[in-house]
A and B are shown apart, each in its own frame.
Chain A
């Protein structure tokens, strides 16, 4: 089974296959001993950017967010659209997925160098400029689940594993693929398609899932996490580079051979339900300076700590869930209770809070007489609980 022993990842590259040993650094993380603090002790700055609510810009919640020099670009599952906002929160334009017969994928990416927003509709890749105008389109061979921009004109994606009875052949597919100018390049992490079985036979379905890619904070490098383990990989145009293996206390860790002993979705889900405090995945991976940001994924909804900042140099561990909003953040939430960090631009990390939570927090803290910055004063006086979400821009103190 793939990944059962991390150090032996086989990287397949076009027709030539080779294997190489990766450098792995083990990080010991005990969520119990993560420290907290006041917002001003953890962050250099906290800014709230309410996203403008107009008839056209109204959306549900941010599924994915990309930050450019001038814009926040967000996608929303509810309206099936990608929206472009100025850094002030003012609405600029929108790519309306409903105008496409089969909608557009909310998993989009931004090619910063070419100034393009790239997404797909079924098996066609569409590129838009920041005005929301379609610039070009090109057919692709298969549907991706997740996509990221690696460097100018190179995309990396994890394919959508389509479950069908028609899969009968014993053939190889890859979990990670490169697209250079819309044509297939490098392919990494091979797997046998037959292992995926058919939907009617769930017990044989493999437990693998598509990979999510995160901007590492370093140009042309992406981070992604393993499935059903707590490894972090560093991906560049030359392939998978460094890895981190996060080691958690035994009570929070999956058994090392979990995929081998729990090969099907049903078995894995049953196991995770019974062991709801075991961390089976990592997400929200960002690297800012020496700080590695990550979020732990487990079945339990009761875990107090989920989002961590780990200093690779000093081994200092901060739980974002233990950070109290204070004067710097006007006592407003820094992230939704179980919310994720949705974006990073190398300097700031970004979370998002719904207007419902913003107004609730405001009402609950009137006795603290917070001094809101003008942008929030205007927000609270002109908006309501049903307005668009607010972006929270956090600058970690390194």
Chain B
């Protein structure tokens, strides 16, 4: 373990000395300088001393370096014939300042031995005169002093990070240090406004930063070279509080508009952010953090921009807002001590209008199919409020958390659908329906958990590793709607139907969950060296108790009658109790083989002898819905995990899992209230439905490169499952075109999934390239009956994605994405029921900074859709924008954007569900131009 720190430090130094950050080079930058830093009094060389070279004229930093294990430093590409100053600093020593000039003739200055003198009081601080040293090593931490890096006065943390040797800001937002991904970016040791690194790096002014610290931590005890890294941004003493945000408003063609407001305040213990947005351009945010992430100031670097979602159906007018809070009772928490309250409140209101035209082809058998055409228009108003508060405390290896989550959603929807059903011989029936409804959904969840992880002394004892979690969830749904449906059968007029129906349904449910696990049950009870002593035994239990109360109140009005009368078939008052108890005994054995400094290999075997006991009871005013059922099932699980960690080289891990799961039929599947008001979908359930048992085998393989440069990672995953008695549908299509669905148990449900990912990164001095390729293949056989004939369908889908990021310094960013989706479906026992569809989107995004204030951005996406039985569709979305920043602090931004420049955006519906092929289009957001003016209020610390 100790070696880790040595190697890490050595690596730092090697890297830093070889990478002297000489700026602005020209033909006069041909001088070299070298020397050795020593403590002459005690006769030794000083390692990791900071050596910085400045121009005398303007005190600008020309280069810096850390002395190596021999106390040596060396600089190349220094200006010749120019007065320079060398400043050497080291903890506990007086700094050494010396003026020098490299002669244009010799092009070299050799300082030989530079002796540093100790400070008298020997403080653990560097004695600084003038500019601070750019970089300092403190054990396993490297510190960059922000003030030593001259940047544009409007630069943010991200711009500074780009300048630091070893740190790479990738095109996709990932940050790496010497090739290793940065796990988190902290500010003053804490997550900053929810922990998204961009909120910190794109907002915090470079001038507010005192130091950027990179901590390296060993990833595992035996590991010499593998480590994980965190970045901590330390703010200047007088900048530990501040505010930042964005106020923006835009207006565009077609009366399109957008407005954003985001204001955040922080101090050493508390962070509060408020945010709000309103627009009609499909920029709907799911939570406050998304809004905050999209309102960052951004400094002077090139960034790929946040865009409206052009694929969203319909026109969306959204308003949203929220508050984010984090309070740390410990101002600077660490790994072992944490005491934090965090949470957010968020509200959204979305008005959505969608007009949709679809055609569904229902394949019935080899020579017959039904075609349904439908046109719908939908107006939805959805308003949602959520609250999420969480308290975390960690002390002495005990973690405790408690959280409360609340949700309230109200939705009003109006929907009119007109459908027509045809067989080959012509139209059978038409159906017109109009629905208007209100739904409210309230949910409150309280969670608390406890986890104790090992003991300080490292002694394994049975009471040291345990976890306990409890949750209580209470939900309340009120669903009120009115439907008017008119079904006209052209084949048999006696089948004509007219429904004028109102639903007034209420659901209340209470779910409780309790789980606990106790590790190493045998530890301390049996001798370690005995056979039992080597076995890992875990006792665990999961208990779910849910109680639901449903009141369905449905009324119909007959034509020519005034009053609505209770529909006795669709009305009930029902209580459902569902208890699911899953005790488990996990038996395992761990094997480990390691060779210091070379490899660690481990093999972990686990077998979970799990059981599931289910009790289901239903009482209802409808007699056929009264039942109680008991189930007992053995649900064994087993896993084999093997990891091969070749230290400093790569880490391979293999996992093989086997699991059994049992699904139990619900009341709705067994004894539903049968609603016939939509003749194209009548669901009847099946009282004899049996539980479905699935057996799944999965395998995954992951390769992670542990090399410092140009890392290469990939992973593969395969999963196969077979379900016995699977829940399937049996569809009966009548001559009128109405469809009745029954739940049935069918054998032969099989699924196979394969997926893979590959990542490769290249870094050159000014260029960075990152390549990501991913693919998945899914093959499934779904059994089912159509008009009593067993007709399983076989589906194959394949998705591939290639992503290429390229960044050039902080000047330009390019992103090329190529996607490919393939879907093939075939119904067995018939010849011609095959369907194929492909989707091919290609996107190129380009962003460039032309001056410090002007930047241009453009992205273009070319989409191609093909599917069996229809002509291919191509369309291109091209967006262009230009931003210009005003004022001294770049606080004011004017943005001109033209979106969907080619006016081609189209929303294509194209999918298959078993024997149903659905194609269609909806209306979408189309071409608009917009002028946006944004103001970024921001201040860190007090004004001078």
Contact B42 A302 (CB under 8 A): no
Contact B456 A265 (CB under 8 A): yes
Contact A59 B463 (CB under 8 A): no
Q: Which residues of A contact B140 (CB under 8 A)?
A: 301-302
Pick 15 A–B contacts, CB within 8 A, sort by A: A33-B42, A37-B44, A60-B594, A78-B595, A79-B595, A202-B456, A266-B457, A269-B456, A301-B2, A322-B44, A325-B70, A337-B9, A337-B10, A338-B2, A357-B6
> Taking A163-B459, A202-B459 as contacts, is the C-beta distance between A61 and B7 under 8 angstroms?
no
Contact A60 B595 (CB under 8 A): yes
Q: Which of B7, B42, B461, B529 contacts A357 (CB 8 A)?
A: B7
B residues near A, CB below 8 A? 2-3, 5-7, 9-10, 14, 39, 42-45, 68-71, 122, 138-140, 224-225, 455-457, 459, 461, 463, 524, 529, 593-598, 647-648
Q: Which residues of B contact A331 (CB under 8 A)?
A: 70
Contact A35 B43 (CB under 8 A): yes
Contact A356 B42 (CB under 8 A): no
Q: Which residues of A contact B139 (CB under 8 A)?
A: 301-302
Contact A355 B461 (CB under 8 A): no
Contact B456 A324 (CB under 8 A): no
Contact B42 A301 (CB under 8 A): no
> Taking A78-B594, A301-B5, A355-B597 as contacts, is the C-beta distance between A266 and B456 under 8 angstroms?
yes
> Taking A36-B45, A338-B5, A364-B14 as contacts, is the C-beta distance between A205 and B597 under 8 angstroms?
no
Contact A37 B43 (CB under 8 A): yes
Contact B10 A364 (CB under 8 A): yes
Contact A336 B44 (CB under 8 A): no
Contact B457 A322 (CB under 8 A): no
Contact A200 B461 (CB under 8 A): yes
Contact A59 B595 (CB under 8 A): yes
- Asked if A351 is at the interface of the complex by the 8 Å CB criterion, the answer is no
Contact A356 B224 (CB under 8 A): yes
Tell me how far the C-beta of B149 lies from the nearest C-beta in chain A, rounded to whole angstroms: 25
Q: Which residues of A contact B69 (CB under 8 A)?
A: 364
Rank and list the top 10 A-B pairs by shortest CB-CB distance, nearest first: A36-B44, A337-B6, A338-B2, A302-B139, A60-B596, A322-B44, A61-B596, A354-B597, A35-B42, A60-B595
Q: How far is the CA of A323 from the CA of B69 in the complex (A)?
A: 11
Q: How far is the CA of A253 from the CA of B139 in the complex (A)?
A: 21
- Asked if A256 is at the interface of the complex by the 8 Å CB criterion, the answer is no
- Asked if A34 is at the interface of the complex by the 8 Å CB criterion, the answer is yes
Q: Which residues of A contact B648 (CB under 8 A)?
A: 356, 385
Annotate A321-333 by CB proximity to B: 1 below 8 A, 0 otherwise. 0111100000100
Q: Which residues of B contact A61 (CB under 8 A)?
A: 596-597
Q: How far is the CA of A202 from the CA of B65 in the complex (A)?
A: 48
Contact A102 B529 (CB under 8 A): yes
- Asked if A58 is at the interface of the complex by the 8 Å CB criterion, the answer is yes
- Asked if A32 is at the interface of the complex by the 8 Å CB criterion, the answer is yes
Contact A336 B43 (CB under 8 A): no
Tell me how far the C-beta of B10 lies from the nearest C-beta in chain A, rounded to whole angstroms: 7
Q: How far is the CA of A325 from the CA of B524 in the complex (A)?
A: 49
Q: How far is the CA of A181 from the CA of B42 in the complex (A)?
A: 50
Contact A354 B3 (CB under 8 A): yes
Contact A41 B224 (CB under 8 A): no
- Asked if A386 is at the interface of the complex by the 8 Å CB criterion, the answer is yes
Q: Which residues of A contact B529 (CB under 8 A)?
A: 102, 122
- Asked if A360 is at the interface of the complex by the 8 Å CB criterion, the answer is yes
Contact B597 A338 (CB under 8 A): no
Contact B45 A360 (CB under 8 A): no
Q: How far is the CA of A295 from the CA of B122 in the complex (A)?
A: 23
Q: Which residues of B contact A265 (CB under 8 A)?
A: 456-457
Contact A205 B138 (CB under 8 A): no
Q: How far is the CA of A324 from the CA of B42 in the complex (A)?
A: 12
Q: How far is the CA of A59 from the CA of B597 in the complex (A)?
A: 10
- Asked if A199 is at the interface of the complex by the 8 Å CB criterion, the answer is yes
Contact B598 A386 (CB under 8 A): yes
Contact B463 A200 (CB under 8 A): yes
Contact B2 A337 (CB under 8 A): yes
Tell me how far the C-beta of B452 lies from the nearest C-beta in chain A, rounded to whole angstroms: 13
Report A224-278 residues with CB < 8 Å from chain B CB. Answer: 265-266, 269
Tell me how far the C-beta of A274 lies from the nearest C-beta in chain B, rounded to whole angstroms: 12
Q: Which residues of A contact B595 (CB under 8 A)?
A: 58-60, 78-79, 386
Q: How far is the CA of A336 from the CA of B224 in the complex (A)?
A: 12
Q: Which residues of A contact B593 (CB under 8 A)?
A: 78
Tell me how far the C-beta of B863 lies from the nearest C-beta in chain A, rounded to whole angstroms: 50
Q: Which residues of A contact B14 (CB under 8 A)?
A: 364
Contact A337 B44 (CB under 8 A): no
Q: Which residues of B contact A355 (CB under 8 A)?
A: 597
Tell me how far the C-beta of A55 lies from the nearest C-beta in chain B, rounded to whole angstroms: 13
Q: Which residues of B contact A339 (CB under 8 A)?
A: 2-3
Q: Which residues of A contact B647 (CB under 8 A)?
A: 356
Contact B461 A199 (CB under 8 A): yes
Q: Which residues of A contact B68 (CB under 8 A)?
A: 364
Which of A41, A79, A265, A386: most chain B Cβ within 10 A? A386
Given A37-B44, A302-B138, A336-B3, 17 more A-B residue pairs with CB atoms under 8 Å apart are A36-B42, A60-B595, A79-B595, A122-B529, A163-B459, A202-B455, A202-B457, A205-B457, A265-B456, A331-B70, A336-B2, A337-B5, A339-B3, A354-B596, A360-B10, A364-B68, A389-B597
Contact B6 A338 (CB under 8 A): yes
Q: Which residues of A contact B455 (CB under 8 A)?
A: 202
Tell me how far the C-beta of A97 lies from the nearest C-beta in chain B, rounded to whole angstroms: 13
Q: Which of B5, B39, B594, B597 contacts A356 (CB 8 A)?
A: B597
Q: Which residue of chain A lies nearest to B74 when distances are taken between CB atoms in the complex?
A: A367
Report A350-398 residues with CB < 8 Å from chain B CB. Answer: 354-357, 360, 364, 385-386, 389
Contact A60 B598 (CB under 8 A): yes
> Taking A199-B459, A200-B524, A202-B457 as contacts, is the C-beta distance between A323 and B596 under 8 angstroms?
no
Q: How far is the CA of A191 from the CA of B883 in the complex (A)?
A: 79
Q: How far is the CA of A234 from the CA of B924 in the complex (A)?
A: 89
Annotate A56-74 by CB proximity to B: 1 below 8 A, 0 otherwise. 0011110000000000000
Which of A61, A205, A337: most chain B Cβ within 10 A? A337
Q: Which residues of B contact A338 (CB under 8 A)?
A: 2-3, 5-6
Q: Which residue of chain A lies nearest to B2 when distances are taken between CB atoms in the complex?
A: A338
Contact B44 A323 (CB under 8 A): yes
Q: How far is the CA of A210 from the CA of B927 in the complex (A)?
A: 79
Q: Which residues of A contact B45 (CB under 8 A)?
A: 36, 324
Tell me how far the C-beta of B730 lies from the nearest C-beta in chain A, rounded to whole angstroms: 60
Q: Which residues of B contact A354 (CB under 8 A)?
A: 3, 224, 596-597
Q: How far is the CA of A163 from the CA of B14 in the complex (A)?
A: 47
Q: Which residues of A contact B456 (CB under 8 A)?
A: 202, 265-266, 269
Q: How far is the CA of A102 from the CA of B139 in the complex (A)?
A: 40
Q: Which residue of chain A lies nearest to B140 when distances are taken between CB atoms in the complex?
A: A301
Tell me how far the C-beta of B649 lies from the nearest C-beta in chain A, rounded to whole angstroms: 9
Q: How far is the CA of A202 from the CA of B459 in the complex (A)?
A: 9
Q: How far is the CA of A356 from the CA of B226 in the complex (A)?
A: 13
Report A199-233 residues with CB < 8 Å from chain B CB. Answer: 199-200, 202, 205
Contact B3 A337 (CB under 8 A): yes
Q: How far is the CA of A196 from the CA of B45 in the complex (A)?
A: 47
Q: How far is the CA of A37 from the CA of B598 in the complex (A)?
A: 32
Annotate A305-341 by CB proximity to B: 1 below 8 A, 0 otherwise. 0000000000000010011110000010000111100
Q: Which residue of chain B lies nearest to A323 when distances are taken between CB atoms in the complex?
A: B44
Tell me how far the C-beta of A340 lies from the nearest C-beta in chain B, rounded to whole angstroms: 10
Q: How far is the CA of A33 from the CA of B42 in the complex (A)?
A: 7
Q: How far is the CA of A354 from the CA of B140 in the complex (A)?
A: 20
Q: How far is the CA of A364 from the CA of B39 in the complex (A)?
A: 23
Q: Which residues of B contact A386 (CB under 8 A)?
A: 595, 598
Q: Which residues of A contact B70 (CB under 8 A)?
A: 324-325, 331
Contact A324 B71 (CB under 8 A): yes
Tell me how far the C-beta of B683 lies from the nearest C-beta in chain A, rounded to whole angstroms: 58
Q: Which residues of A contact B9 (CB under 8 A)?
A: 337
Q: Which residue of chain B lies nearest to A270 when distances are taken between CB atoms in the complex?
A: B456
Q: Which residues of B contact A336 (CB under 8 A)?
A: 2-3, 6
Q: Which residue of chain A lies nearest to B529 when distances are taken between CB atoms in the complex?
A: A102
Annotate A96-118 by CB proximity to B: 1 below 8 A, 0 otherwise. 00000010000000000000000
Tell me how far the C-beta of A157 lies from the nearest C-beta in chain B, rounded to whole angstroms: 20
